[in-house]
Structure formats: C-alpha cells, structure tokens
C-alpha cells in the first residue's frame, strides 16, 4: 500500500503545480510560442532524468535511494517557484523540476513490479497516479493562488520523501546495460514510436489548452475541473479493467488507447465552447488509462531491464513534452489554436495506424 500512496501523493504534487504554469507564463508577458517553450524545458529535464535514473536503478540493482532523493529534491525545487523574477527564471525552474521528478518516477513503478501479481500491482500504481492527478488539478482550482499551490505541492513532495524512507527493498541483481541501449530501443520500438507520436500530439494540446478553454468562456475553475475529470476517469477505467488485467493482452489495451486518443483530439479541435470539453475529457481519460497501462505492462513483462525500458518510455514521454508544446505554441502563434489541436489529432491517428501496420508483429 505504501507504493500506491507514494504514487498518489507524487502526482498530486506534480499536477497541482503544473496546471496553471501556461497561464502564469502568459501573465508574465509570454506569447504563445514562449508558453510552449516553458513546457519544452520541463520535458527536456525529464527526458534526461527518466532514462538516466531508470538505467542506474537496473545497473545498481537499487530503487529506494532514487525514490527518496527524487522526492526530497523535488520539494526544494517547487519552493523556489515562490519567487520568480523573470520568464527566463521560470523556464530554468521548470527544467529543474522536470529533472528532479524524473529521478524517482520509474524506479517506483519497477519496485512495484518486483512483487507477486505484477500486472495488478503495476496497474494499481498507475490507477493511484491518476487519482493523484485528479486531486492535483482539482486542488489547483481550489487554491487558485500560485503561492498556495506551490507551498502545498512542496509539502506533498516532502511527505512523499518522509514516507519513502519506510520502503523495503532487497538488493536486486545488477544488470549490465550499455550507455546507449540500442538493442532495447529496437526491441520495443513499436511501443515507443506510437507512444511518442500520440503524446507529442497530446502535449501540443496541453501546452495551450488552458488558454484555449479560457478563450471559449471558461474560468480557472472550469479549466481545473475539466482537467481533473480526465484522471478521475483514468482511475475508474483502470479499476474496471483490474479483474481482467492479467488475462487481456497488453497490446490490445495499448492499441485501444491509441485509437481513442485520435478520436478525442479531433473532437477537441471542433468544440464550440468550453462546456463540451467535459465530454471530450472523459474520452481522453479512457484513452490514457488504456494506452499507458498497456505500454507499462508490456515493457515490465517482456523485458528483464525494467528500469531501463520503462525509463525509455518516460524519455519518449518527455521528448513529446518538449516537441509537442513547441508545435502547439508555434502553430497557435502563426495560425490558430484550433489548427494546432487538429494537427495533434492527425499525429495521434498516425500513431494508431503505425501500430496497426507494424506493432502486431511483436
């Protein structure tokens, strides 16, 4: 239960402090391109960190130390958000936040996968992460004030650090992994590539969605509740899947998520006002719950190098968070936010078609 609690607190802390960052950047004078740039550097920090510490956890056969250190350092970085004198400083802090949060993320998932009933435990970690995301986005809407959001996020990270000290772990077998594991990347390419394409489209949307929803008549409370509905649906969907999770092929779960992602992104591009976003958010929640759970289950069941392969998935996630906001911000700045979201739908559809053509062979 401790691992599930940490997953819950972690995502509550991350996403409460993340939700209004685009609006904060806008209030500091950023244009839509610069709003995307803020998210780009957050993704860059995670891209480096997810793989680096996922691989180290395999090489050293240890996870607990990375988990505790990551939580503690994240609490310090979030406190620095209380005094942001310039847009450049915000960009630098978001890079550090992405890096620190990548230290513990996949070692935590791998630690859950090392016990019995792996599929069930990994799915529950993902479910409680979704519940934490729900709390984070809802909490951000309740707090509204940036200072209160950052203080509460830092407290949650510190609580996670404190609880993580009680984690128990037997020293695992050390695994030799090259610094650049091209064989592992190639082996799992039809998971990584569709995941990367889909989440690039998603990140392009999330980078500008708060601004888009406000332009359609939404308030900060509406933005928060629309975002919060997504992970609440994720949590519910994973619990619904749980009785059958050990019997349904992980690749079927994965491809269902890719298809539903495409559908939801196309719908986002055509909504007439913010109220329709609640319906789309339900579909997005189902799509992420199935896609991400399917990807994780496949990687931890088909690879001994679980920290590295899931860390590489995290790096793909971060590349998407780097490239996606750049695309979303640039297309929105040059053309329109609707066109940017439509392009995201095309990217996601491409990911689904790519998997249908090539992925079924793995």
Instruction: Judge contact between 3 and 147, C-beta under 8 A.
Output: no
User: What pTM, to 2 d.p., does this model score?
Assistant: 0.86
Cβ neighbors of 243 (< 8 A, separation 6 or more) are: none
Contact 63, 101 (CB under 8 A): no
Tokens of 37: 């740039």
- Alpha carbon 351 to its chain centroid, in Å, reads 18
Contacts of 122 (CB under 8 A, 6+ apart): 109, 112, 113, 293, 296, 297, 300
**C-beta separation of 277 from 264 below 8 A:** no
Residue 282: the pLDDT is: 95
Cα–Cα distances in angstroms (integers) from residue 45 to residues 3, 206, 233, in the given order: 24, 18, 28
Question: Tokens 């992994």 label which residue?
Answer: 177
* Angle between helical axes of 118-143 and 2-18 (0-180°, round to 10): 40
Domains, the chain, ordered by start: 2-166+183-361 (1.20.1250.20)
Distance CA 282, CA 230 (A): 6
Place of tokens 């069930």: 120
Q: Are 204 and 343 in contact (CB under 8 A)?
A: yes
Query: Which tens digit of pLDDT belongs to each residue from 305-350?
Result: 888 898 899 889 888 888 887 788 788 888 889 999 999 999 999 9
The residue behind tokens 């999770």 is: 245
Please give the torsion angle defined by the CA atoms of residues 46, 49, 51 and 55, in that order, rounded to the nearest 10 degrees: -160
- Burial class (CB within 10 angstroms; exposed 0-12, middle 13-18, buried 19+) of 213: buried
Place of tokens 């996968």: 113
Please classify residue 361 by burial: count the beta carbons closer than 10 Å to its beta carbon, then call 0-12 exposed, 13-18 middle and 19+ buried: exposed
In sequence order, the 6+-apart residues with CB closer than 8 A to the CB of 233 are 281, 282, 284, 285, 286, 289
Query: How do the pLDDT tens digits run along the chain, 362 residues long?
Result: 788 999 999 999 998 888 788 888 888 888 877 877 887 888 889 889 998 898 888 888 888 899 999 999 999 999 999 989 899 999 999 999 999 999 998 888 888 887 767 778 888 988 999 899 889 888 887 888 899 999 999 999 999 999 999 988 766 677 788 878 888 999 999 999 999 999 999 989 987 888 899 999 988 788 878 888 888 999 999 999 888 888 899 999 999 999 999 999 999 999 999 999 999 999 999 999 999 999 999 998 888 888 889 889 988 988 888 888 778 878 888 888 999 999 999 999 999 999 998 876 67
Query: Roughly how many angstroms between the first and final C-alpha of the chain, as a whole number?
Result: 33
Concatenating the DSSP letter of every residue in 225-244 gives HHHHHHHHHHHHHHHHHGGG
Angle, helices 276-302 vs 189-215, to 10°: value is 160
For residues 226 and 274, the answer to whether their CB atoms sit within 8 Å is: yes
């Amino acid at each position: 239960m401790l691992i599930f609690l940490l997953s819950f607190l972690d995502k509550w802390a991350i996403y409460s402090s993340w939700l209004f960052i685009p609006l904060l950047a806008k209030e500091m004078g950023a244009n839509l391109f610069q709003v995307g740039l803020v998210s780009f550097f957050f993704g860059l920090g995670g891209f480096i960190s997810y793989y680096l510490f996922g691989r180290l956890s395999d090489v050293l056969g240890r996870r607990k130390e990375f988990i505790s250190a990551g939580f503690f350092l994240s609490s310090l970085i979030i406190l620095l958000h209380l005094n942001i004198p310039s847009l450049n400083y915000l960009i630098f802090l978001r890079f550090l936040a992405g890096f620190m949060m990548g230290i513990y993320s996949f070692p935590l998932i791998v630690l859950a996968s090392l016990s019995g009933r792996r599929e069930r435990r990994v799915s529950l970690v993902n479910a409680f992460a979704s519940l934490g995301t729900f709390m984070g986005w809802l909490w951000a809407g309740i707090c509204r004030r940036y200072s209160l959001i950052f203080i509460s996020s830092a407290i949650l990270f510190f609580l996670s650090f404190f609880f993580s000290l009680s984690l128990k772990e037997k020293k695992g077998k050390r695994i030799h992994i090259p610094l650049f594991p091209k064989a592992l990347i190639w082996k799992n390419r039809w998971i990584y590539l569709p995941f990367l394409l889909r989440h690039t489209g998603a990140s392009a949307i999330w980078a500008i969605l708060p601004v888009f929803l406000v332009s359609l008549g939404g308030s900060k409370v509406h933005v928060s509740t629309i975002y919060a509905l997504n992970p609440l649906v994720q949590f519910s969907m994973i619990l619904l899947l749980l009785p059958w999770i050990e019997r349904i092929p992980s690749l079927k779960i994965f491809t269902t998520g890719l298809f539903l992602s495409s559908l939801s992104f196309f719908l986002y591009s055509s909504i007439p006002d913010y109220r329709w976003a609640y319906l789309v958010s339900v579909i997005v929640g189902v799509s992420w719950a199935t896609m991400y759970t399917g990807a994780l289950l496949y990687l931890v069941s088909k690879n001994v190098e679980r920290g590295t392969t899931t860390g590489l998935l995290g790096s793909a996630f971060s590349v998407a968070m780097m490239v996606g906001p750049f695309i979303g911000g640039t297309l929105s700045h040059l053309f329109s936010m609707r066109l940017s979201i439509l392009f995201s739908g095309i990217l996601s559809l491409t990911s689904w078609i790519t998997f249908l053509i090539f992925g079924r062979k793995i």
